Structure 1
Amino acid sequence: MIIHGETILPGQSRTINMEIARLHTMTKLKIPVIIERSKVDGPVVLFSAGIHGDEINGVEIVRQIIVRKINKPKTGTIICIPVVNIFGFVNQKREFPDGRDLNRVFPGSRNGSLASRFAWHILNEIMPHVDYCIDFHAGGAARFNAPQIRVEPDNKKLKDLSDVFNAPFTLFSKNIAGSFRNACGKLGVTMLLYEGGKSLDLNNEVTQEGVQGAKRVLQHLGMLNIRKNAKAPERPPIYIEDSAWVRARHSGMFQNRIHAGQFVTKGEVIAIITDPFGKFEQKVKAPNSGYIINSNDASIVYQGDAIFHITQRLS
């Protein structure tokens, strides 16, 4: 296996520091790619996080996979990239310094924008070796995602692997042009996208769901060390075929009455929006019965802001 010009042989453990660009101060900024290879041949699995630099819960999941030595495979190879968008992570920003969203520029270009160059190197240096990928994300703009796996509809292989991961929710959603998930699909890489928590926040429940799901996948592939067996699922995932956003009808102070993952009934009051001066209070009611899979944790919202993501059709 050759990554970024360095050879990793079976049985070796290596950390490759990919330096694609420096800070404007000329300070070196490298992406650690942590590779653990078994002496026994097998699948290659990538755990990645931090494509959006402010989604640190995913970074924590991959960190725990490394610290707990879950990334030491019984067979095959495990690659961990805890922070892909190292520039955004340093600045605690979602985007690259060029203002681009890395998750919208794949497959990228070797001579393009900074974000585009990163996408190109990831896709050309690392992904040709990978059979399976789990990419960890979080909600943005103070919106908290219930732990969920997102997979392309009508793809049995992804559905089956999602069942193995066994997050509380599995959301069927089409691949978005320019996304890492879309690029992996075109390369034939079996990829699960995990969403959980919100930006610039750490949540232990979300973290443990991610870690246990990763362990179950490795165990399913025959790669998990026998001393680190995954916990058996406590319940089957809830499959979501359709969902919709509830948006604020008024600007004001936002008082959320429910949490992500909760089931609500049609007409139930799920939040209240008020003005600061005691002139009005607007009740936000559930438009239909379903699960809240994303909840806005902001204290102040504006008219039109997305405040809840609610399921409409389950399977």
Structure 2
Amino acid sequence: MLNKDILHVLGQKIHPGESAEISFDVANLHTSSSVDVPVFIERSKRPGPTVLFTAGIHGDEVNGVEIVRQLIAKGINKPKRGSIICIPVINIFGFINLTREFPDGRDLNRVFPGNHNGSLASQVAYKLIHEVIPSVDYVVDFHTGGAGRFNAPQIRIEKNNIELDELAKAFGAPFVVYSKNLNKSFRYTCSKLGIPMLLYEGGKSIHLDPNVTHTGVNGAKRVLAHLNMLNPRLKASPPKKKCVFILESRWQRANYSGMFRPVTNLMSSKVKKGDVIGNITDPYGKFNDFVKAETSGYIINVNESPIVYQGDALFHITRKMKP
């Protein structure tokens, strides 16, 4: 679907060649102070697709917010053709407190497509789906790992979708993980509406990582170049490594409770079955369990929590790759 002459976003009309900053507001704080979430729209005079960049669905995932911030600050969001919409922080309530959920305790990414008369999170989801998404052709949504888990930069898409495969290749993250669309998630809802979405995962919550940010910003530029939308004054550098498409992966869990320390420089590296990849100790110097890789593959996620309990996820290791 190509841009129509006029974009209708959050009740505003934006014509070709125009720029706009629109407020995405749903509710005030409990102090009656207003909370305005800015939505940045840049349109070229030349027709083309509309791409939406979003972050902060979970309020503590600040690295995604930083990526979208840089897209705006560096002028990457000014397209050669078509339109680019940037929403750096969707869950502004969680972002203020650096918490994952909304004040109502709900995970925004589990209430889509939302309800106009529902919970606060549900109302935000409803407004996004009904007042922004109808104007959009592609979505890139930026996330990070949660609960102290650090994700290697990766794109997550559903299987058996040629267009998503091509977009993921264009993005150029080190890994592309095939994963199911979770029911009531933003990605699931966009898929049902026929809108391709790339979900980027990188880093961990309440943490900024320059490599994760760099990969996300460059990936966004490559996607825009792939769609012939990248501003001519900008260049999209090719990825340093070829993408690894992952068909199957599994968490390796702790056999014991204790103090956990992973081997350094494991992220994104390939390990062999039996390699020592960490150790779990007690606080008293009496116990030391060497954690060995249960399978050969790439490590795409590491639990960086210093304390773990038996059964906790430690390492996410790939098991089967696409040829």
> Which TM-score tier does this pair reach, normalised by the shorter chain?
over 0.9
Where structure 2 has 5 or more consecutive residues not aligned to the other structure, the ranges are 1-6
Task: Name the structure 2 match of 1:305.
Answer: 312
Partner in structure 2 of residue 196 of structure 1: 202
CA shift, 1:234, in A, is 2.1
CA distance in 2, matches of 1:260, 1:25: 43
State the secondary structure of the residue aligned to 2:132.
helix
User: Counterparts of 1:21-32 in structure 2 under 5 Å?
Assistant: 21-32=27-38
Q: 2 CA distance for matches of 1:238 and 1:275?
A: 37
The alpha carbon displacement at 1:5 in A equals: 1.6
Q: What is the match of residue 118 of structure 2?
A: 112
Equivalent residue letter for 1:214: A
How far apart are residue 227 of structure 1 and its match? 1.2
Cα deviation, residue 279, structure 1: 1.8
Quote the residue 1:214 is aligned against. Answer: 220
- Where do 5+ consecutive residues of structure 1 fail to align? none
Secondary structure of the residue that 1:115 maps to in structure 2? helix
Describe the SS at the equivalent of 1:310: strand
Match of 1:294? 301
Alignment of 1:16-95 (within 5 A): 16-95=22-101
Q: How many residues align?
A: 315
Most deviating of 28-37 and 256-265: 256-265
When structure 1 is superposed on structure 2, of 259-268 and 55-64 the one drifting more is 259-268
Residue in structure 2 matching 1:150, options 146, 150, 156:
156
User: How far 1:120 moved relative to its partner?
Assistant: 0.3
**SS of aligned partner of 1:283:** strand
Quote the residue 2:4 is aligned against. none
Aligned to 1:270: 277
Corresponding position: 1:281 with 2:294: no
- Counterpart of 1:8 (choices 10, 14, 17) is 14
3-state SS of 2:35 partner: coil
Tell me which of 128, 136, 150 is aligned to 1:130: 136
Partner of 1:235: 241
How far is the alpha carbon of 1:235 from its aligned partner?
2.2
User: Taking every aligned residue pair, what percent have the same amino acid on both sides?
Assistant: 59
C-alpha distance in structure 1 between counterparts of 2:315 and 2:181, whole Å: 22
